[in-house]
């Protein structure tokens, strides 16, 4: 069974400092080990893939990536450089790696141009966006040009967490809840709802959004989203597809990254269908072997297992 992982992180020495804000989230020894692994593209990574039975990694720049850069011109230069490096790494290991581009969303026009270059010239399979860009989310009207480019190229945008633009008051006094254990997931689910209610998928009906961590809880709440949309004041917002769940079923794909547990997988299968779920390991923050063992032993049909392992990625990313 061919296995393709879609949330597989790396960083370069030049860009590692952008992730320093995440260091306070992790235990020091865990952050040191993850940081070391992030800098390695092939030496340890390829043997680890072999041991785990992971055939292909779709590489992406680690969070928050160049979106933490305040100077748009610097962000553009970094995006071009890291995408060139990624493409060169893939060219040296064409059967083992593919990739998602990093985009300088500080400059939407430049980001759209870089997405086109990354896909048409470098062969990358879309782009990964780390949460917000200096407080600007993907429903911002200035970023419609990026969605237009992605839809025109028929490639997905992968929405990945990062530290929030601010911290919700309910988390005050509890820094242990800030980060991937809790706040990142709620931030990402809210970001997806912003895209729905902000009209992104009405403007670009066939746009494709990837979301990790088994859908950041959204498969669990689809019925309630629709029920409460019928109850709530719409504040002038009307959805062309009628209910929020219709967009989740039509525009959203999710990956198993960082959630190696059968109950949420079974929920996602029932809520979204097997064609909408892809595999990911969240390396190096999770162990590849744990993720691949979960995939091989999950209580699902063999047909669904093959779709999740590689079939859906092959179709969506043309791998």
Rounded (10°) angle between helices 144-153 and 108-120: 10
In the block, residue with structure tokens 């030496």: 43
For residue 8, the tally of other CB atoms under 10 A from its CB is 25
Given the residues 84, 282, 293, 304, select the one marked as catalytic.
Answer: 282
Cβ 248 vs Cβ 311: under 8 Å: no
For residue 244, the tally of other CB atoms under 10 A from its CB is 21
End-to-end CA distance of the chain: 15
Q: Report how far residue 205's alpha carbon sits from residue 100's, in angstroms, rounded to the nearest whole number.
A: 22
Question: Catalytic annotation on 282?
Answer: yes
Cβ 102 vs Cβ 61: under 8 Å: yes
Q: Report how far residue 156's alpha carbon sits from residue 128's, in angstroms, rounded to the nearest whole number.
A: 8
Q: Is the dihedral of CA 11, 74, 195, 125 positive or negative?
A: negative
Q: Report how far residue 285's alpha carbon sits from residue 33's, in angstroms, rounded to the nearest whole number.
A: 9
Q: SS3 of 277, please?
A: strand
Q: Which residues pair with 128 in a beta bridge?
A: 158
Catalogue the E-assigned strands of the chain: 4-10, 56-61, 97-99, 127-130, 157-160, 209-211, 252-255, 277-278
Q: Which residues carry out catalysis?
A: 282
């Amino acid at each position: 069974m061919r296995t393709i992982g879609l949330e597989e992180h790396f960083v370069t020495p030049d860009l590692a400092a952008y992730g320093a804000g995440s260091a306070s989230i992790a235990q020091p020894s865990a952050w040191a080990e993850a940081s070391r692994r992030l800098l390695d593209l092939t030496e340890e990574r390829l043997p680890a893939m072999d041991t785990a039975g992971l055939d292909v990694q779709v590489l992406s720049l680690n969070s928050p990536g160049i979106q933490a850069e305040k100077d748009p011109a610097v962000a553009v230069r970094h995006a071009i450089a890291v995408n060139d490096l990624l493409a060169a790494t893939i060219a040296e290991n064409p059967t083992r790696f593919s990739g998602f581009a990093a985009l300088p969303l500080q400059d939407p026009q430049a980001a759209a141009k870089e997405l086109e270059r990354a896909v048409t010239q470098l062969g990358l399979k879309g782009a990964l966006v780390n949460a917000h860009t200096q407080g600007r989310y993907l429903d911002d009207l200035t970023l419609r040009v990026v969605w237009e480019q992605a839809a025109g190229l028929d490639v997905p945008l992968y929405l990945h967490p990062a530290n929030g633009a601010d911290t919700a008051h309910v988390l005050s006094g509890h820094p242990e809840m800030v980060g991937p254990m809790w706040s990142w997931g709620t931030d990402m689910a809210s970001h997806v709802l912003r895209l729905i209610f902000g009209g992104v998928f009405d403007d670009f009906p066939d746009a494709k959004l990837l979301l990790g961590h088994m859908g950041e809880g959204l498969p669990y709440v689809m019925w309630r989203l629709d029920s409460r949309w019928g109850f709530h004041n719409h504040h002038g917002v009307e959805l062309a597809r009628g209910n929020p769940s219709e967009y989740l079923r039509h525009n959203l794909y999710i990956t198993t990254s960082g959630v190696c547990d059968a109950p949420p997988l079974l929920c996602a299968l029932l809520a979204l269908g097997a064609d909408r779920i892809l595999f990911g390991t969240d390396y190096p923050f999770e162990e590849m072997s744990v993720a691949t063992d979960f995939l091989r032993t999950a209580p699902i049909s063999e047909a669904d297992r093959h779709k999740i392992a590689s079939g859906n990625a092959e179709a969506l990313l043309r791998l």
